[in-house]
Each structure stands twice: as C-alpha cells, then as structure tokens.
Amino acid sequence: MRFGVVVFPGSNCDRDCGEVLTLLGAEVEYVWHRESDVSGLDGLVIPGGFSYGDYLRCGAVAKISPVMDAVRTFAAQGRPVIGICNGFQILLESGLLPGAMLRNTSLTFQCKTVDLRVETTRTPFTRELAVGQLIRLPIANAEGNYTIDADGLLSLEDNDQVILRYVDASGEATEQGNPNGSVGNIAGISNIRGNVVGMMPHPERASEAILGNTDGRAFFEAALNLAS
C-alpha cells in the first residue's frame, strides 16, 4: 500500500509518520506542498508541525497550497485521509472537516500524554479499535481547543463523527480530563462519509515499543490493512 505524507514548510512530524508507516510495511512517498497530483496513492497523512509558522491561524496558509486541491479530490473519492494535530487544523481550515480550533483555555502550550476514549470504529483509522476502548496518546498543541456551534455539534453526534474524546483516568469525559477546553471533550472527528479523520493527539509518537507506548499503532495498521 502506498501512503503519502504531505509536507509543508514548517511540518515537523512528517518523518515520524513516514517511519511508522514504513515499519508497518507501507511504501511511503513524501508529497511536497507544491505538488498537485496524489492520484497514485492509497492514503494520505497530513502531519503535525507548524505549517508556514502558524502565521494568521494554524492551517490558514496551508489550506491554499496547491496540494490541498489534490487532497480535496482524493477525499471526495472516498479514500483515507488523516490529519494529525496541525494536520487536523489544516483539514478544518480547508473545509474538509467541520468546526474550528481556538487557543487552549489555559492559554498555554500543552505537551503531555492524555487519556482518550474511542467513540466510533467506522473510519479507516479506528476500524480495528473498539468503541469505549481507553487509550493513551501524547498531545502537543497551543490551539487544540476544538469548537463548533450547537447545531454542528448535534450533527457530529447524530452522524457518529466523533472518533475520540478526552477523558479522565476512569474513562469519563470530565472537565478535569479535558486538556484544552474542547467542546464535548472532542479530541478527533471524521467527515460524514468517515474517510477523512482529524485528531489532535499524536498516534505516531506512540507506535513503537521503544517509545514506551504502542496505543497509536492501531490507527496506522487499520488503514494499511484495508488493502489486505
């Protein structure tokens, strides 16, 4: 399976994602932001980092890069796309996912491992997890406070688009378990079709035993196993 990792000026998690995919047997292609054709790929990762230095808003400049037209076409074809951290912000700014990101309610950069609860298995990236499963993944963001209006939130819930929630150690979606103030403790969502996923936690940073945690590995394995 050939996976593309999109690289913008300021991306810094592209090699991390590529390394995990390679270890799992994928053929990885790094796609520079000026490229306009991703048709030969089976899946796409938009990695974390600080695309264009996070000037204006996070992802606001990246959304007009030439590659994003190709990403939109790729997504419209029902093929798997995942945006991680800054990648999630880019998907929001590009209109591929609903909602927006605000500054964390703490107004500080949050860099730690958090507890999460899996909310759906209907996406290419969560299909091998279990609803209600508790996992732990790292976060690293200053603008991870996901927001959407009341009608939008209702639509997300009704269409099973919330994929992950921040929870406390007991698995409850409490204020104490929410590291950035996201509405509904939301840590990740999908589009209605389910093939486009955005998440603030970093699964690539928890996919190898040498890192002390492999809870993130299943997100990549699930997408790669689609072809098997």
Q: Which residues are catalytic?
A: 85, 202, 204
Instruction: Name 170's Cβ contacts closer than 8 Å, sequence gap at least 6.
Output: none
- From the list 137, 147, 18, the residue with the least C-alpha distance to 92 is 147
| CA angle (9, 139, 162) in 5-degree steps | 100
**DSSP track, 135-171:** EEEEEEESS-EEE--HHHHHHHHHTT-EEEEEE-TTS
Helix or strand (DSSP H, E) at 79: none
Q: Rounded distance, CA 30 to CA 156, Å?
A: 31
**Cα(29)–Cα(56) distance, integer angstroms:** 29
Contact (CB, 8 A) for 130 and 201: no
